[in-house]
Amino acid sequence: MIQLKKIDKYYDAKFQRTFVLKGVNLDIEQGEFISIMGPSGSGKSTLLNIIGFLDEPSQGEYLFLGDPANKLKEKQKVQYHRSHIGFIFQAFHLIEELNVYENIETPLVYRGVKGKERKALVADMLDRFNIVAKKDLFPSQLSGGQQQLVAIARAIIGKPKLLLADEPTGNLHSEQGEMIMKLLKKLNDEGMTIIQVTHSKENAEYGDRIITLKDGYVREK
Amino acid sequence: MILYNLKITLRRLFNDKAFSTINVLGLVIGIASFLILFIYVSNEKSFDKHFDDHENIYRVTSVPGGHDNAPWARSLGIVHTASATIPEIELATQFTHCAVGEIQIGENSLQQNNVLSVDEAFIQLFEVEAKVGNLSEINKPNTVFVTEDFAKKHFNGVNPVGQNISINALQYVRNVGDYEIRGIVKNTHPKTHFKYELLLSQKGGLQERYEAQPNRKTQWLYNYYKLQKGVEPNLVAEKLKSFWDASSVKQTRGPQEYNFALLPMADIHLKSDYRFELRESSSKINIVLFIVISFVILLVSLLNFTNLTIAKLIKRSKELGLKKSIGANQVQIIRQVLVEVLFFCGLAVVLSLLAVEAAKPFVNHFFEIEFNVYYSEPVVYLSIIAVLIICLGLTAIFVSVFLLGKNSTIEILSERSNYSGNYVLKSLLVGQVAIVIILMSGTFLVNKQINFVLNQPLGFDKENVVVLHSKDLSKDPAVFTSELQKQSMVASVGMTAQHFGYPSQRLPLDGLGIDGTAEFVFANYDYLKTMNINLIENWISPSADTVRGMVINNHLYKRLLERHGTMEAVNAYGDSEPLQPGEERIGFIGVAEDFNYSSAHEPVGDFAFWLDESRNRARFIHVRLGEGSLQAGMDAVKTTWQQYYPNQELNYFFIDEKIAQQYKAETILSRILSAFSIIGILISVIGISALSLFISQQRTKEIGIRKVNGAKVSEILVLLNFNFIKWVVISFVIATPIAWFAMNKWLENFAYKTALNWWIFALAGFVALGIALLTVSWQSWRAASKNPVEALRYE
């Protein structure tokens, strides 16, 4: 599904080139659950962002479903965001002005899904995550775990093939974190490809494969 | 999708009330100011355009040759006679206008403004509509038509037709006679260059005067022609000139040459500022300046709005980036932002319309303009649409430039963009502050010029002089004046037929061997004393008990000496000229210092006082009150008036106010500029304070780190303020040359101008700097005085 070949990411400052990623090779098959680990600044998030088309590699080749990503136009990237990729962030990134229902609904709005269909899909999702009672609440009225739950619901409502999670439990209590991890595992069991970035060894174990990044290099275990 | 965007926008509006209020308020102030000025200007520009054939209607003027200064709106009677011989003229009317007269209804004697005596052509030309009665009766002797307002005011619903009004005094005539009301006409359209309350017939009481006009060189009448379509007005003017050249009137005493001209009626209100205008005309330069100011204010508020919108976007960039990550494309995001902008603009427009309505009485009172919104006219809606388009357009351009400039979503998500490094924001703020500096320096200069013209030596003393308008000349005014003089509060009393600022009469100078005409007024000797007009040369014989003769001003004196060498030679030349029947010789008895009879717009010209003691000089009784006792003095004058003229209302004014009125256009300009500079400053304060709040919020972490490492609050203030100072300095550099150029242009309108000092610009710059510093410091201080632990935890 995802093939990274000799991916470099660097920033140029006056006389110095700072590498964030260097020569990263990675193959990810459909249905895998990958955990990316590594110390701060090792390039984990950058790697995730490149995979999710939020950032571009400075060098190297990235094939997504066999298509070379560096040749993708903005339009196609938007298309992938709509139908193939879902994101979850450490800071949840819910839209403050929208309530739970509307936050989950947002991707569908951008996709141009009809109102009736949207209603059904969102209702399904609320039901599945057991948050029907909270649908009219705003993010500030929810606990962290609940917010992340909403964020996941929002990320998967478009039935993406790939779910990218950037430290999904980083801001949560361990109890809530465990709940989220179990949920991710369940999604993976249903066939969704998941790539997560995490600091926690414990959480990394949920994955089928752990990739460790250090100073921009990959050390796979 | 639109609905979805609208929902978010509304929620955001209520969530962030402070910001929304500030943002909308700035815009409302700007749009309301723009609408007021713009609609006012378009009203002024559309004067007289409601008449069907306004393009073909012209006012005819006849200006005596060699005296292009201060032309009159009135013209010779022969202009009307000539119209019958010029085939290109479809219709011609002549009429007289009395600004302030006196009428009597029953026992009540009242002051009456705007009395016109008109003919049937007037009715036709100016589309006078009757509500009651038949307007053709205007041809019958001693008939009068009254307006709806007049009927309501004086007859209170009772049908006035058949009642009599006695016309006691018009401008130059008294006891015109009784006029029978034959009907009611609609009020004058508010956007007409004249106004009438009474329309008198030219037949009957005034007939004799009308009949005498074609053979005189007096300019008593207003003449209007309606030309056939496509006729060149110059052609008609030439034919008029030929008619004049062939007429016998030309050869009589007085100027031989007249310049005849036809001015399109629609131009009168804005472009003509002649003596005896039917209604105060607007200053054209003001109108141009108002348009400029209105757009400038709109621009300032839009720059501010855009600035705040972008600043807010930066703050919200995370949300926008997030939306991209869940599948929104660039277009959808821009559309969302634009829906918000449109919503804010729409809201602001609605609120501004309410604000305009609420501010209307205040605007009219404070600026002394006649501002009204005529909702039936498309210009109102067009300007609203224009505002919306400009708002949306301008903001859209900047916002799109800003948004499209960010290509990497992650850059937005990670908040790598910031305010202090953003050039769009910087240039918007610089533009805004520059405009405010221009407005402020303009205000300083206009005020300085007004003070200059009002306080320059006038050649007479304008303080503490009250002018009484006496209408009943059947009683000897000398008795009244000597009675007044006995009051201890009264310093002196003089009489004149005209007062300063009132159009004077013309004296041809050809009898003295020089070109042109001098302005002159009838007065008595006490008048000169009352006004403290100094005589440089005084040839009055001390033994004479009444002073008779001419006192000329220094300007004319010098011209006469230049031509003749000595005063003896001047007198000898004058004596050698033959006298026309009915004329008498008047000697020169003194020379007065030069003074400004009209206004500082015009240089001093030839001027003379014709001194005598006859009664007709007593139309305006000038009373100098003793210093410091204005109220008591006025009471004494009123009591004496009551004793002497028991049934007459006392109309009076103070001469210094009258003189200030000559600078009404400048006063209005000064007030509008002051008001709009303040508005501009206000909007900028809003903008700067919001922006500095954003910046200090963004730099919270940096501030915290600096404080942990030992920075003092004052050092952090300096750090945060320095950026803003830089921007203000750049604005100042941009603004100064523009302001200097504009002011120079404006000053060209004056014959006497104040100096364009450097401190005007410096002051404006310092005020801008001071305001920016105060605003920024307030926000910075709040950020700087925070506990650093708190500041660092913020991350």
- Model ipTM value: 0.72
Coil, strand or helix: which one is B607? strand
Task: Kindly tell me if the per-residue pLDDT of B795 is higher than 50.
Answer: no
Q: Averaging pLDDT over each range in B100-109, B138-147, B574-583, which range is the top one?
A: B138-147
Chain-chain contact of A54 with B325 (C-beta, under 8 angstroms): yes
Q: State the pairing for strand pair B651-654/B465-469.
A: antiparallel
Asked whether B236 and B227 are in contact (CB, 8 A), the reply is yes
Chain-chain contact of A97 with B318 (C-beta, under 8 angstroms): no
Compute the distance between CA of residue A10 and CA of residue B616 in angstroms, rounded to an integer: 99
How many CB atoms neighbour CB A93 within 10 A? 23
Split at pLDDT 50, 70, 90, the class of B594 is: confident
How deeply is A107 buried, as exposed, middle or buried, from its count of CB atoms within 10 A (0-12, 13-18, 19+)? buried
Split at pLDDT 50, 70, 90, the class of B540 is: confident
Q: What is the pLDDT of residue B79?
A: 92
Compute the distance between CA of residue B397 and CA of residue B324 in angstroms, rounded to an integer: 21
Task: Kindly tell me if the per-residue pLDDT of B615 is higher than 70.
Answer: no
Compute the distance between CA of residue B327 and CA of residue B320 in angstroms, rounded to an integer: 11
Split at pLDDT 50, 70, 90, the class of B228 is: very high
Chain-chain contact of B8 with A78 (C-beta, under 8 angstroms): no
Chain-chain contact of A95 with B324 (C-beta, under 8 angstroms): no
pLDDT digits (tens, 9 = 90+) for B269-325: 888 878 888 888 777 788 888 888 888 888 888 888 888 887 777 777 777 777 777
Chain-chain contact of A81 with B7 (C-beta, under 8 angstroms): no
Compute the distance between CA of residue A45 and CA of residue B435 in angstroms, rounded to an integer: 46
For chain A, the residue count is 221
Count of pairs with CB atoms under 8 A, one residue in A, one in B? 63
Cα-Cα-Cα-Cα dihedral sign, residues A79, A80, A82, A84: positive
Q: What is the pLDDT of residue B650?
A: 82
Compute the distance between CA of residue B295 and CA of residue B169 in angstroms, rounded to an integer: 47
Nearest CB partner across the interface for A97, out of B11, B322, B408 = B11
Cβ neighbours of A55 in B, within 8 Å: 408-410
Nearest CB partner across the interface for A49, out of B11, B332, B410 = B410
In Å, how far is B401's CA from the nearest CA of chain A? 17
* Closest CA in chain A for residue B335: A110
Q: Locate the domains of chain B by residue range.
A: 77-216+218-252, 429-457+664-795, 472-647
Asked whether B35 and B387 are in contact (CB, 8 A), the reply is yes
How many CB atoms neighbour CB B284 within 10 A? 17
- A110 close to B (CB below 8 A): yes
Chain-chain contact of A107 with B327 (C-beta, under 8 angstroms): yes
Asked whether B626 and B633 are in contact (CB, 8 A), the reply is yes
- A132 close to B (CB below 8 A): no
Asked whether B699 and B783 are in contact (CB, 8 A), the reply is yes
Q: State the pairing for strand pair B607-611/B89-105.
A: unpaired
Split at pLDDT 50, 70, 90, the class of B394 is: confident
Residue B346's φ and ψ, nearest 5 degrees, are: -60, -45
Chain-chain contact of B410 with A55 (C-beta, under 8 angstroms): yes
pLDDT digits (tens, 9 = 90+) for A109-158: 888 888 899 999 999 889 988 889 998 999 889 988 889 889 989 988 88
Coil, strand or helix: which one is B676? helix
pLDDT digits (tens, 9 = 90+) for B683-727: 888 877 777 777 777 777 777 777 777 778 888 888 888 878 888
Higher per-residue confidence, B30 vs B173: B30
Task: Kindly tell me if the per-residue pLDDT of B794 is higher than 50.
Answer: no
Nearest CB partner across the interface for B326, out of A87, A97, A102 = A87
Residue B586 DSSP code: -
Compute the distance between CA of residue B688 and CA of residue B308 in angstroms, rounded to an integer: 9
Task: Kindly tell me if the per-residue pLDDT of B145 is higher than 90.
Answer: yes
Task: Kindly tell me if the per-residue pLDDT of B253 is higher than 50.
Answer: yes
Cβ neighbours of B326 in A, within 8 Å: 81, 86-87, 106-107, 110, 154-155, 158
Task: Kindly tell me if the per-residue pLDDT of B661 is higher than 80.
Answer: no
Tokens of A173: 């209590």
Chain-chain contact of B326 with A97 (C-beta, under 8 angstroms): no
pLDDT digits (tens, 9 = 90+) for A33-69: 999 998 887 888 888 888 888 788 888 888 888 888 7
Contacts (Cβ under 8 Å, ≥6 apart) of B247: B78
Asked whether B437 and B732 are in contact (CB, 8 A), the reply is yes
Cα-Cα-Cα-Cα dihedral sign, residues B145, B148, B150, B152: positive
Q: What ranges make up the beta strands (E) of B421-531?
A: 465-469, 490-496, 505-508, 517-523
Give B 312-341 residues with CB within 8 A of chain A.
Answer: 318-319, 322-330, 332
Compute the distance between CA of residue B93 and CA of residue B122 in angstroms, rounded to an integer: 5
Tokens of B538: 């005084």
Task: Kindly tell me if the per-residue pLDDT of B124 is higher than 90.
Answer: yes
Tokens of B539: 């040839």
Q: Name which of A203-212, B65-74, B236-245 the model is least confident about.
A: B65-74
* DSSP class per residue in chain A: -EEEEEEEEEEEETTEEEEEEEEEEEEE-TT-EEEEE-STTSSHHHHHHHHTTSS--SEEEEEETTEEGGG--HHHHHHHHHHTEEEE-TT----TTS-HHHHHHHHHHHHT--HHHHHHHHHHHHHHTT-GGGTT--GGGS-HHHHHHHHHHHHHTT--SEEEEESTTTTS-HHHHHHHHHHHHHHHHTT-EEEEE-S-HHHHTTSSEEEEEETTEEEE-
Across residues A95-102, what is the average pLDDT? 86
Q: What is the pLDDT of residue B430?
A: 87
How many CB atoms neighbour CB B449 within 10 A? 25
Coil, strand or helix: which one is B779? helix
Chain-chain contact of A155 with B7 (C-beta, under 8 angstroms): no
What range does the domain containing A83 cover? Answer: 2-220
How many CB atoms neighbour CB B679 within 10 A? 21
Structural domain tally of chain A? Answer: 1
Q: What is the pLDDT of residue B582?
A: 63
Domain with A33 in it: what CATH number? 3.40.50.300
Q: State the pairing for strand pair A85-88/B57-64.
A: unpaired
